[in-house]
Chain A
Amino acid sequence: MPVIDYKTALNQAFAEELTRDESVFLIGEEVAQYNGAYKVTKGLWERFGSKRVIDTPISEAAFLGLGVGAAMMGLRPVVELMFWSFAYVGFDQIINNAGCVRYMSGGLINVPMVIRGPANGGTNVGATHSHTPENFLANTPGLKVVAPATPYDAKGLMIASIRDNDTVCFMENTLLYGETGEVPEGSYTIPLGVADIKREGTDVSFVAHGRAVLTALAAAERLEAEHGISAEVVDLRSIRPLDEETILHSIAKTHRVVLIDENKPFCGVSAQIAAMIAEKAFDQLDAPVLRVTALDAPAIYSMPLEKIQLPTSERIIAKALTLF
């Protein structure tokens, strides 16, 4: 199987879907002639032209709303946010319009749109550019939220998201764009709402999404090598819908769990998962549910400090050891 990077996997997904379905179009700042701020859409404008790959002025509210309006009319917009952090100036369009219009119309309307872009800290760009709004988005019934960690998952989930008939918020990560992995050529889908066991283990479950999955995997390797503890890594892949069964299954096996989350802790994704475990797996637990999240302050600029603000292997290992 070819080995490609995460952004190329996404690029292949767009090319497949642009070819397959006339109603799919890409829109956003610098997505066309500039090839994308992070080159995720590289070559697509040349190949598909200005009707299908569209550069916009810097007007997030306008082009997010345009996506919703066009999707209501049956088109399938894939709207790029240069950073998910910039969604905030257009949040009304995402939450009130994409998220609520189906409900408020009593099911007369649906919004088959993908909103995508990187949502991560760790790149020394300060607090305004380092937000991880997956928890805000998943807090809106009507929206779906996915956060793939690997190139394989990114391509399969993107194709599934474009074909999905609801709005999917697709959380990427600039630090993952260059990560490589095996990705089949051609089209395939990964259903939303199915988690993936990225590493089998017996003693403790690590539950994570996005880049935190890679951090969890690295921590699991060291935990095994240095402490003889076998960690299972559950990659959520999809946050809403959520694969609760796979999480509960893993805990039924290991009886211990650490949630690893680059999101902030207060009402973050891991808070929801912790509540779910408390309700549904209390009797399975031999130790409290613990979390390793982003340190609870705005993203700091300073290089060495931002590294430790996000979850690290060291913090995960230290936390896991307290469970035994």
Chain B
Amino acid sequence: MTTADSTQAEKSKKSTSSCVSTQAVINLTLTPEQKIKALADMWRIRRFEQQALKFYNQDKIAGFLHLYIGQESIAVAAASLMNGQDEMITAYRDHGHALAVGMSMEECMAELFGKATGCSKGKGGSMHFFAPDKHYWGGHGIVGGQVPLGLGLAFALKYKKIPACALCFLGDGAVNQGPVSESLNFASLFELPLVIIIENNGYSMGTSLERSSSIQHYLAQRAEGFDMAWGLANGSNYYELRAKLHEAMERARSESKPFLLEVATYRYYGHSIADANAKKYRSAEEIENYKANHDPIILWQKQLLEEKLLTEESITAIDEAAKKEAAASVAFAEASPWPDPESIFSDVYYEVDQDSEAGRTGAHFFSDRV
């Protein structure tokens, strides 16, 4: 058995059986429309990213492009549980979360193309998508650096007495960053409504879990060192994922207690498109095994077919709609203008942007202007 496969197998042993998850109230109350929407949302992410990959290879998109393909169920399940006041933050593998919380493909694709119509006006790029109006706080490029921010989101919720939780995502490699440990201790000590979700895809760039963590099997077990509750979930099982996430989120909302949830998952592509070693640190069989046996979209589709909520035709229609939307987002991005050179100097200081008294006082910029 390959490394990541054994991890996955171990994980499923400890995680709730799918039968129990299906019976979880949070899943029993799901309407057929909601179940189908979840499938559509996963396809939308996958098709969006496949278009992005295509245009990255045509030099329309630059820099890094970290694809979420293979992990789509996680962001979709989490977003489906947000109550309108819950907050979300993640790392640089952020397209899936952005689409899941309701950002449009158009603004996201335009951002990848570096256009003025992008969600960050072409100032952030792939790793930095934000939508505060949708309680989505990014999109962060420094490994682990978003976790203290997630701590702050949870702190603000508690401070304002809002009965909601903050969802903070990170990778299996990010778990080893110092500020992550600081944040776990802090969240536990101050009883903050923070749900930290480790998307364990088995690798941090080319480094397998075996080569990065002293605790090999359950990264979430580190929570014990901070007197924090933890759990495991199988990313390929949508019902289980939702049940586990819901439990953690409810606990955070009602008891104001943090939770560390580790989700077993897998990424199909390289770390980023610029990852020339993508096939060297893991075997082709390992990747194929995941695609064939653990794909979260295919498995959820199968489940819905069994529940007779879908037909082969309706599946095709969902996928076609996602492909069409993704293609349209490319057309939108292509047709959009580049940002104005003067925009280099906006969105640096709030007070300057507002042209307030404070923004007009003193020199804020020291270079030539364009």
Contacts and interface: CB of A to CB of B under 8 A. Distances in A.
B118 A62 contact: no
Contact of B349 (A65, A101, A166): A166
Contacts of A244: 362-363
B362 A194 contact: yes
Contacts of A106: 118-124, 130, 347
Contacts of B142: 92, 96
Contacts of B354: 165
Interface residues of A, number: 55
Interface stretch (B32-40, B176-184, B240-248, B275-283): B176-184
Contacts of B132: 72, 105, 108-109
Nearest to A236: B362
Given A102-B347, A106-B347, A73 B156 contact: yes
Contacts of A110: 350
A105 B133 CA distance: 12
Nearest to B345: A141
Contacts of B123: 103-106
Contacts of A97: 140, 145, 148-149
A48 to B, nearest CB: 13
B348 A102 contact: yes
Nearest to B189: A57
Contacts of A16: none
A96 B145 contact: yes
A25 interface: yes
Name the prevailing secondary structure of the A interface residues: mixed
A66 B186 contact: yes
Interface in B132-172: 132, 137-142, 145, 147-157, 159-160
A169 interface: no
Interface string A6-33: 0000000000000000000100000000
Interface of B: 87, 89, 118-124, 128, 130-132, 137-142, 145, 147-157, 159-160, 178-179, 182-183, 185-186, 189, 346-351, 353-354, 356-358, 361-366
Given A61-B182, A75-B156, A242-B366, 14 more contacts: A25-B159, A65-B179, A69-B151, A93-B148, A97-B149, A103-B124, A103-B348, A104-B139, A105-B120, A105-B123, A110-B350, A165-B356, A241-B361, A242-B363
27 contacts: A57-B186, A59-B182, A62-B148, A62-B183, A65-B152, A65-B179, A66-B152, A66-B155, A70-B156, A73-B160, A75-B159, A92-B145, A93-B145, A93-B149, A97-B148, A102-B350, A104-B123, A104-B130, A106-B119, A106-B120, A108-B120, A110-B350, A165-B350, A166-B349, A166-B350, A191-B362, A272-B366
